[in-house]
Amino acid sequence: MGNTRDEFWRRLIAGESGIAPITAFDASDFDARIAGEVKEFNPEQLLGRKEARRMDRFTQFAVVAAREAIEDAKLPVDAEFKQRVGGVIGTGIGGIITFWLNSDKANENGTWSKVTPFFIPMLMANAAPAHISMVYGYQGPFFAAASACASANDAICTAYNTIVHGDAIAMITGGSEATVSPLAIGGFCSMRALSTRNDDPARASRPFDRERDGFVLGEGAGILVLEEYEHARSRGASIYCELLGYGQSSDAYDLVAPDPDGNGVRLAFARAFASAGIEPRDVDYINAHGTSTPVGDPAESKAIEKSFGEHAFEIGVSSTKSMHGHALGAAGGIEGVATALAVAHDTMPPTTNYEFPDPECRLDYVPNVARRAPVRVALSNSFGFGGHNSVIVFGKVR
């Protein structure tokens, strides 16, 4: 959908699709042969050849996205400030591309001596936050969050708490994922989780639509800079919105299937309302998890109905995964950027490919066309395998 924030937002609001046939490998033998790949990304040009070769693709994404966020935030560069900047980056799987490529090398040559000495440092989930810390010299707490598709949202929640508790003045946070590989596609195909609309990629991801047949794998990174409000205001920072609070919960139900009654999600909503000091009626927009799966979309819709009552039908609810696919552990970061910009610009991104209403999904899904409307309070939902639920609350600066 674009390698900069502005390009991403422009295409999102235009309802364009970033989903296309897979180019990273020959996918002709797979049931699902499409993905939301990052295009025209040259890591050696962006990071330098030496550094790029020491990073898995998910780390490259995170470092490049963090650079744009940090430059936009114009964070101070003095040593004392850098000691008080930390970061939490979410990833669901980490360096799976490094694992795939090095396994292939070892199998082809019949020896593990061909495995790169950087294999473990490239593979590990904390590689992304570690590299961001090293590139910028930040010495606050830096670590990774891994809770499947809720990883980035959980990272943002943790970053928020780190600032609230006084352990940092600013946090680099969000998520990054790069899983477009035979291992990941093969695994999800075996689960029958992916859409097989290979002949019509742009229309394959269909959240809340009756004809949905599974999610489309995406990749990328979305990184936010969180900063203590008074400090940000005192230095004249550009503030897009305020992170008001969050809610987290677990379904305690199944390793991969959501609770069909949405009990865990409803707990996350209730905790988010309490944390942010808001009422359900205050919410104008929800960036839904909305993966385009037969079971997940109705469960989320029902949880929204039960949590918001009649107001549920007055809220704009959209899934931007209809355009960029499901980026797993990066989803909450990418969608967090979209939600923050929705608040900043009073514009709700659309749910594209919404053609056939599903009687089990009864909400206003901002169908196909972006909507200009006041967005004073917005939620960003992320739910992960294992029953992890994470809801972030964004609001206008008060």
Shortest CA distance to 321 belongs to which of 346, 350, 358?
A: 350
Per annotation, catalytic residue among 131, 324, 326, 388: 326
Q: Are strands 34-35 and 170-177 parallel, antiparallel or unpaired?
A: unpaired
CA angle, residues 144, 329, 42, in degrees to nearest 5: 90
Per annotation, catalytic residue among 289, 324, 361, 388: 289
Q: Token digits for 128?
A: 């992304």
Shortest CA distance to 176 belongs to which of 85, 86, 63?
A: 63
Query: Residue 329 to residues 41, 58, 337, 388: CA-CA distances in angstroms?
Result: 20, 10, 14, 12
Distance CA 112, CA 106 (A): 5
Residue spans of alpha helices (H) in 171-295? 182-190, 229-234, 263-276
> Could you confirm whether 149 is annotated as catalytic?
yes
CA atoms within 13 A on the CB side of 276: 31
CA atoms within 13 A on the CB side of 365: 30
Distance CA 232, CA 210 (A): 45
> Could you confirm whether 326 is annotated as catalytic?
yes
Residue 323: which residues within 8 A CB-CB, separation 6 or more? 1, 11, 12, 15, 16, 17, 18, 19, 36, 205, 349, 352
Helix axes 127-136, 57-73, angle to 10 degrees: 40
Distance CA 150, CA 155 (A): 9
Q: Which residues are catalytic?
A: 149, 289, 326
